[in-house]
Homo-oligomer: A and B are copies of this chain.
Amino acid sequence: METGAADMTDTNERAARDEVLALARAAKGAQVQLAAAPAETRTRALRAMAAAIMEEAGRILDANAQDCAAAFALPTHLLDRLRLDRARLEAATGGLAQLAGLEDSVGKVGAEWTTHRGLLIRQRRVPLGLIAAIFEARPNVAVDLAGLAVRTGNALLLRPGVEARRSVLALVEAMRRGLAGAGLDPRALAAVESPYRAAANELLHLRGLVDLLIPRGGPGLIAEVTRTASVPVIETGIGVCHIYVDRAADLQMAVDITDNAKTSRPAVCNAAEALLVHRDVAGRFLPEVAARLQAKGVELRADPESLPLMPGARPAVEDDWGREFLDLVIAVRVVPSLDAALEHIARYGSGHSEAIVTADAEAAHAFLAAVDAACVYWNASTRFTDGYEFGYGAEAGISTQKLHVRGPMGPGSLLSSKFEILGCGQVRE
């Protein structure tokens, strides 16, 4: 019997790998047509995908209900991300409509010049090719990514978390019908059916087929993909974000920003994980912010100096600094100066989003210049690090790396370029 079970596992894993390979090859083939089509065709496809999702809303919501029923053991915040309803479908298809209205840059010439040898060089924007995404339980990620892929002439292969499998397959089926309706090969968009881990592993190593792999999910998933993939990866979404309340802060604004950055959606990467407060205002600010946060159920982990100012707080341990709680928890520290805040952020930040609250323009500019992160805020919540908020229409993730794209990934991040060099027989001496 044991051999039988092992055989079955082998068979399932082989089938998973075969499925991924077949889908990837078909998608890569279909991508050529998608990229060569006129921009209007991709625009039409985006509208048709949105229409198909709303037409098939009943079937999609049924599939989602099955996913939710099967995932009853998930923590509440994950279950909330998994759940679809008509409003969420409308929001997702609204994103597709927004992308349909955006300029299409596929094949556009970005720069053009003539060299001293008389060669005409044109840098043309081209799709990356096949984009793969490994994500967890949020089905609407599939719609965002599909919209971005079609707008940019890229094929897309999705590997959803098992919890969202039925929902994503139903969404992809509808969107493929939209693609076909616009006269495009629907195989440019696909989702892996196999729930086996071997499917994800296969995706990580399809060098030459997968041009970009985007991991979307928790820190564990992202770290594993970044460490093990041999295809190109963009690291997304590890957010250890700080709010620094300067001595010259408008303290009411600072309370509002801290509250929003911590509590409006604690499980996302642009939520704040730590609060740094200048010593000069700690006595007035901390009791007030503590009351506001505690009223919303936030646990405060305080350094020795802030602890007595926040009744009900507990002492922070070293491990609390630089930690992505992704929960209603925040670490709090009093700092003697702006420089001390900058040092703390340099040491513990993840290069995602950092904010200063201050009325002092000099302090603000010093903060903006010194902090090495994708997004640096002056008097605003870190929660705005988001493709929609940036006006990109959708978002493929938030890059925390410095190469290729940094911050919210809009359509431009899914394009590469190619040089066309036109001569009349030039050779090099």
A residues with a Cβ closer than 8 A to B are 36, 113, 115-117, 119, 121, 126, 128-129, 211-212, 227, 230, 232, 234, 250, 253, 256-257, 259-261, 264, 368-369, 372-381, 383-386, 389-391, 401-404, 406-407, 416-429
> In the complex the two chains form, is B380's CB within 8 Å of A425's CB?
yes
- Taken together as a complex, chains A and B put the C-alpha atoms of A89 and B385 apart, in Å, by 48
**Complex contacts, A389 vs chain B, CB 8 Å:** 115, 117, 119, 428
The residue among A212, A377, A389, A425 with the most chain B CB atoms within 10 A of its own CB is A425
Q: Is B426 a contact of A380 with CB atoms below 8 Å? A: yes
In the complex, A75 Cα to B419 Cα: how many Å? 34
- Contact present for B416 and A377 (CB under 8 Å): no
Contact B381 A427 (CB under 8 A): yes
B406 touches A404 (CB 8 A): no
Whether A390 contacts B115 by the Cβ 8 Å rule is yes
Residues of B within 8 A of A372 (CB): 126, 129, 418
Q: What are 5 A-B pairs at a CB distance below 8 A?
A: A116-B391, A373-B418, A376-B421, A377-B423, A404-B404
If A260-B428, A428-B384 touch, whether A406 touches B402 (CB-CB below 8 Å) is: no
Closest B residue to A383 by CB, please name it: B428
One of B113, B375, B402, B421 near A419 (C-beta < 8 A): B375
How near does chain B come to A400, taking the closest CB pair, in angstroms?
11
Q: Is the CB of A423 within 8 A of B380?
A: yes
Least distance between A425 CB and chain B CB atoms (Å): 4
Question: A427: which B residues are within 8 A, CB to CB?
Answer: 256-257, 259-261, 264, 380-381, 383
Secondary structure at the A interface, as helix, strand, loop or mixed, is mixed
Counting every copy of the chain, the complex holds 2
Assuming the contacts A256-B425, A257-B425, A383-B427, asked whether A232 and B378 have C-beta atoms less than 8 A apart, the reply is no
When the two chains form the complex, which single residue of B36, B232, B250 contacts A403, counting CB atoms closer than 8 Å?
B232
Instruction: Say yes or no: B422 contacts A380, CB within 8 Å.
Output: yes
Contact across chains for A378 and B423 when beta carbons are under 8 A apart: yes
Could you say which residues of chain B place their CB within 8 Å of the CB of A115?
384, 389-391
In whole angstroms, how far apart are the Cα atoms of A373 and B418 in the complex?
Answer: 7
When distances are taken between beta carbons in the complex, the residues of chain B under 8 Å from A402 are 128-129, 211-212, 232, 416
Instruction: Return chain B residues, CB-CB under 8 Å to A250.
Output: 425
The 5 residue pairs across chains A and B that have the minimum distance between CB atoms: A380-B423, A260-B427, A402-B416, A383-B428, A404-B404
CB distance from A120 to the nearest CB of B (A): 9
Q: Which of B260, B378, B384, B391 contacts A420 (CB 8 A)?
A: B378
> B129–A379 contact, CB under 8 A?
no
Cβ contacts under 8 Å, A126 to chain B: 372
Contact A419 B407 (CB under 8 A): yes
User: Which residues of B sit under 8 angstroms from A424, Cβ to Cβ?
Assistant: 379-380
Contacts of A428 in B (CB 8 A): 260, 264, 381, 383-384, 386, 389
Q: A381-B426, A427-B264, A428-B260 are in contact. Are A212 and B403 (CB under 8 A)?
A: yes
Q: Is the CB of B384 within 8 A of A117?
A: yes
Known A129-B372, A369-B36; judge A425-B253 contact (CB<8 A).
Answer: yes
A356 to B368, CA, bound (A): 49
Q: Which residue of B lies closest to A376 (CB)?
A: B420
Chain B neighbourhood of A227, CB < 8 A: 230
Bound-complex Cα distance A406 to B418 (A)? 7
Measured CB to CB, the closest approach of chain B to A121, in angstroms, equals 7
In the complex, which of the residues B119, B401, B416 contacts A232, with contact meaning CB atoms closer than 8 Å?
B401
- CA gap between A75 and B169 in the complex, in Å: 58
